[in-house]
Amino acid sequence: MNFAVLPPEINSVRMFSGAGSEPMLAAAAAWDRLSAELAAAESFASVTSGLAGAG
């Protein structure tokens, strides 16, 4: 799409009537879930390496 050939009013309407914040909120939620999973994996690795070293 070439924004230079369209009037500014059309470009403005297209920018402000887009998908909204839902995609960004969904991405943020996915990153939060990934962060929680990585923290759990780190904790598991720490515990298992501690147990392996204790024996």
Q: Provide the CB-side half-sphere exposure for 54 (13 A, CA).
A: 6
The residue whose two tokens read 């392996």 is 52
Query: What is the 8-class DSSP label of residue 17?
Result: T
User: Where exactly are the structural domains of the chain?
Assistant: 8-53
> Each residue of 1-10: pLDDT tens digit?
788 999 999 9
> Each residue of 11-49: pLDDT tens digit?
899 888 988 889 999 999 999 999 999 999 999 999 999
pLDDT tier for residue 55 given thresholds of 50, 70 and 90: low
pTM of this structure: 0.60
